[in-house]
Chain A
Amino acid sequence: MEFTLCLAQINTCLGVLQPNLEKHLALAEEARRFGAELLIFPELSLTGYVLQDLASTVACRPVAEDAFFGPLLKASRNLDLVVGFVEEDVRSRFFISAAYLSRGQVLHVHRKVYLPTYGLFDEGRFFAWGDGVRAFDTRFGRVGMLICEDFWHASLPYLLWLDGADLLIFTSASPGRGVSAAPELASARWVDSICRSYAGLFTTFVAHSNRVGFEDGLHFWGGAGVYDPDGEMIAKGPYDEEVLTLVELDLDQLHRTRTRLPLLRDERTALVQRELARILQGGSND
């Protein structure tokens, strides 16, 4: 089975949802015309990234009655969408979330688990952390979604892999950092290398969507990428440009790669569970 995936590396207005929504809808239409069946927007694509005290004022609920999700759900009748937003739960906790929309329904919402609160990041000050990670079924097979810092922790992609995800969708609003003589940012190189590693180690597809533009002095570098189960990059968006990157995913590659390299078959999950339980209980090494 083949399908066309599209990564939307976009710039956003900071804290103003309407122009961001309009951009989502226009690009959904454009991507559909190009034949895309799944369009992936970056982290916090509806709101912008460094929200600080704006966090509570831009929050949505991913339901059809919401003024912003209503039009997005309607657009998802034509192609599946992944959008990034601030989610407010019924008890007014605010999460950095990603929603997978398909055929007018919300198939899944992932709440960012790991909120970087160090260096230039201050997410833990403004947001609640998600407390779960689940793969879910889509018309393209089983999928897992993670948001930026989530996939800097190997445990979450690993759990999604064991939960059946054959496509890992990663979304980011990654501020670029680290200049040297190399032609790319250190942070861009790092993200590329871990995405490639997950694809290869888990013999799975990885699609990473990152935003572009600036917020004050922070620079978001784009460079969206898609990696196949052999760990090969099969699509790469340019740096710093607002573009759609389309790629055909041949899901039969899973069959071919896993025949050659049965890492999933051989994964010793009971051993992992046993040893992890021991480690967490502070048990001895023998």
Chain B
Amino acid sequence: MIDLTICSDLVERVLTGFLASEIRRQGFQRALVGLSGGIDSALSCILAARALGPSNVLAVRMPYRTSSPDSLEDAQQVIEITGVQSVTIPITEVVEPLFERFPEMSAMRRGNIMARARMVVLYDQSAAFDGLVVGTGNKTEILLGYTTLYGDSACALNPLGDLYKTQVRQLARDLGAPQSVLQKPPSADLWAGQTDEAELGFTYAEVDELLYLLVDQRYTPEQCVQAGFAEDFVQRVVRRIQRNQFKRVLPPIAKLSNRTVGYDFLYLRDWGT
């Protein structure tokens, strides 16, 4: 039986310790979270508030014209529950000129532009607030590549990247995230009615169990099928993981010299701290 249950007290202790240590070692006391109203950013915000103190955390809401009003309201609840500072900076005026310049633009292109515009706003606020951007990407979306490169995946450090979506849900619930955030279907909210599970074609509950076998337990795809997963589902997920490896690594540098960044120039970010 696959059991993704985690001990929330333990995971909270590790993740708040991680945020406090790795933000302060870089010389900062403060952090920012792009708060969408969804469960991932709510959890990152809660963890950052606990790690650094709420006055040292800035939640940035960045709605687009068509963003769901519920998202703003749900984000507001997280702000109130955590007591963090907040600012709302709509991205409509930032992205509309490009949308108008290319009216034939697909939903995917528009979604990527919005995600990257939010990154631009967030990193600008990071300089203004003198804090680091805390990531919100979970292990499921990192493995599936369900993210915009240099968009929502951009961050200085990520406390959620080794938690499956199912585990994010559990931890968010145990740390007191608002009910409305916990209960609504996950959505990137890039267009009206979008939901992750409809777009992906499977549920997080299903895919998390499969990913756990494939990645954590190192099952082969054939062994996953033997364990009861549908073959086409397994193949689809395996292909997604492989096809999106580029989102999980830095761009390769062509090696010319004897010592090259990324290959044989190896230091942690914490070097010297």
Contacts and interface: CB of A to CB of B under 8 A. Distances in A.
Interface string A150-190: 00000000000000000000000000100111111100000
Given A214-B22, A216-B22, A219-B14, A183 B268 contact: no
Contact of A183 (B3, B9, B14): B9
Contacts of A213: 21
Given A13-B273, A52-B266, A52-B268, A179 B21 contact: no
A16 B272 contact: yes
A191 to B, nearest CB: 16
The binding surface of chain A is classed by DSSP as loop
A179 B271 contact: no
Contact of A180 (B7, B157, B269): B7
A224 B246 CA distance: 40
Contacts of A179: 6-7, 10-11
B134 to A, nearest CB: 13
Given A52-B266, A183-B9, A183-B10, A14 B271 contact: yes
B13 A53 contact: no
Contacts of B102: none
B265 A53 contact: yes
Contacts of A132: none
B273 A14 contact: yes
Contacts of A29: none
Contacts of B199: none
Contacts of A192: none
B270 interface: yes
Interface magnitude class on chain A: 20 to 34
B186 interface: no
Interface in B15-29: 17-18, 21-22, 25
Given A214-B21, A214-B22, A240-B13, A183 B7 contact: yes
Contacts of A181: 3, 5-7
A176 B10 CA distance: 11
B266 A53 contact: yes
B267 A54 contact: yes
A50 B3 contact: no
A239 interface: yes
Interface in A7-28: 13-16
A268 B273 CA distance: 51
B268 A215 contact: yes
Contacts of B18: 214, 217, 219
Choose among A16, A52, A182, A214 the residue with the greatest number of B CB atoms under 10 Å from its CB: A214
A14 B6 contact: no
A180 B164 CA distance: 12
A181 B4 CA distance: 8
Contact of B272 (A15, A180, A184): A15
B133 to A, nearest CB: 16
B10 A184 contact: yes
Contacts of B5: 180-181
Given A180-B3, A183-B7, A239 B13 contact: yes
A177 to B, nearest CB: 9
B9 A214 contact: no
A16 B267 CA distance: 13
Interface string A197-215: 0000000000000000111
B17 A214 contact: yes
A176 B11 CA distance: 11
A219 B17 CA distance: 9
Interface in B227-273: 264-273
Nearest to B15: A219
Given A183-B9, A213-B21, A214-B18, A53 B3 contact: no
Contact of B270 (A53, A184, A215): A215
B9 A53 contact: no
B98 to A, nearest CB: 35
Which among A16, A54, A179, A215 has the highest number of chain B CB atoms within 10 Å? Answer: A179
A216 B270 CA distance: 6
A13 to B, nearest CB: 6
B10 A185 contact: yes
A53 B22 contact: no
B132 to A, nearest CB: 14
A125 B271 CA distance: 18
13 contacts: A14-B268, A16-B272, A50-B268, A52-B266, A53-B265, A53-B267, A179-B10, A180-B5, A182-B7, A184-B7, A214-B25, A216-B268, A216-B270
Given A52-B268, A182-B7, A216-B268, 18 more contacts: A13-B273, A14-B270, A14-B271, A14-B272, A14-B273, A16-B272, A53-B266, A179-B10, A180-B3, A180-B7, A183-B9, A183-B10, A185-B10, A214-B18, A214-B270, A215-B268, A216-B22, A240-B17
